[in-house]
Amino acid sequence: MTVTKGCSSRNKTTMFRPKGMFNVLVVITVLLITLQSGYLFGWWPIVGNEQAQLVQSGEQGEEKGRNDITTKTIEKNKAKEAGSARAVLQTDDNTIENLAVILNKKLSDFPSEKGGPTKKLCDRAKSASEPCVNATCPTMFSSSPEIRLKQILSTRNESLHSFKSAMAEVTRGVSASFKYMLVSAVSANHYYEMQAMVKNVHTHLLPRLTNFTFIIFDLGLTPLQRNLTEKNCGCTVLDYPFDKLPALFSILKCYTWKPMIIRSLIEKTEFLVWMDSSVRWNRTAQSLDSLFQRCRERGLQVWFGRIGSVAVHTEHDMFRFYGDQPCQYDPYGEMHGSYGVYHNEPFVRYAVLDPWLSCAFTRRCMCLQNAKHSCARKTLPRRTGVCHRFDQSSLGIILIKLYGSRIKLINMNTQMEVHRGDNAKWFGRLAG
CA 328, distance to chain mean position in Å, is 25
User: Architecture of 94-418 per CATH?
Assistant: Alpha-Beta Complex (3.90)
* Statement: the pTM of the whole predicted model exceeds 0.85: no
For the segment 126-149, the average pLDDT, to the nearest whole number, is 93
**C-alpha dihedral over 349, 152, 311, 388, to 10 degrees?**
50
Residue 207: pLDDT band with limits 50, 70, 90: very high
* Mean pLDDT for the chain overall: 80
**C-alpha dihedral sign at 283, 405, 328, 318:** positive
Residue 309 is inside which H or E element, if any?
A: strand 300-309
Q: Convert the pLDDT of each residue in 228-279 to its tens digit.
A: 999 999 999 999 999 988 888 889 999 999 999 999 999 999 999 999 999 9
pLDDT of residue 188: 97
Rounded average pLDDT over 373-383:
79
Q: In the chain, what are the helix, strand and coil shares in percent, each to the nearest 5?
A: 50, 15, 35
Sorted by where each begins, the domain ranges of the chain are: 9-41, 50-89, 94-418
Q: Residue 175: CA atoms inside 13 Å, Cβ hemisphere, count?
A: 1
**Dihedral angle over CA of 311, 422, 237, 294, nearest 10:** -50
Predicted pLDDT at 432: 35
Alpha carbon of residue 72 to chain centroid? 30
Higher model confidence: residue 176 or residue 365? 365
pLDDT of residue 12: 39
